[in-house]
A and B are shown apart, each in its own frame.
Chain A
């Protein structure tokens, strides 16, 4: 049973517009959420995170929103740039702590069109 779901395998957005990537989760024990970005032939790199005690976290062009009642989070990138083209993974962790691994979604391939 998939606990972290990214239902859009790919997303195409024009350069300069807003990119919105969505993620849903089913495990109510998850209390920390992260977004990772991955280029081909490279390891994922951490982008932004949010604790369940917050509903929004912002870092430059990147904002993550968390809706706990809906078990839904989203990553907003504005404005989108060509270098943002990558696969984005949503990940979650429960109260077991950071040592117990993360549960990842299947990823969304974001393509920024010039």
Chain B
């Protein structure tokens, strides 16, 4: 079974703090993704990576950065947290860049509250 784990299920941070969200997958997947889910907005792609040290901006990268130093780990960084970054953050992975490997496997999510 593919397993995607996220470091925290719930997190409360103060405005201006630097926040790290960690994601680890154990299936040697090449691709990793960070989404946020908000009521009425669905899932929106923040950043993705298809290789170590590679990163690509998704639809809403502003206010975020990412790091992928090892294949199995993909970190999302909020440099200076703001209240509009209060959300559910979901990490996902998928096997390769081949056309048919579109299925993504999701972690359980991190509910981040910024006060």
Contacts and interface: CB of A to CB of B under 8 A. Distances in A.
Interface in B33-85: 33, 35, 40-45, 48, 50, 56, 58
Interface string A12-45: 0000000000000000000010101000011111
B31 A9 contact: no
Interface bin, chain A: 20 to 34
If over half of B's interface residues share one DSSP class (helix, strand or loop), that class is named, otherwise mixed; here it is: loop
A97 B42 contact: no
Nearest to A90: B42
A70 interface: no
A98 B106 contact: no
A49 B94 contact: no
Interface in B74-107: 90, 92, 94-107
Interface residues of B, number: 35
Contacts of B90: 43-44
B94 to A, nearest CB: 5
A98 B99 contact: yes
Interface of B: 4, 9, 30-31, 33, 35, 40-45, 48, 50, 56, 58, 90, 92, 94-109, 111
Given A44-B106, A98-B104, 9 more contacts: A43-B92, A43-B106, A45-B106, A49-B102, A49-B103, A98-B100, A100-B48, A101-B33, A103-B45
Interface of A: 6, 9, 32, 34, 36, 41-46, 49, 89, 91, 93, 95, 97-107
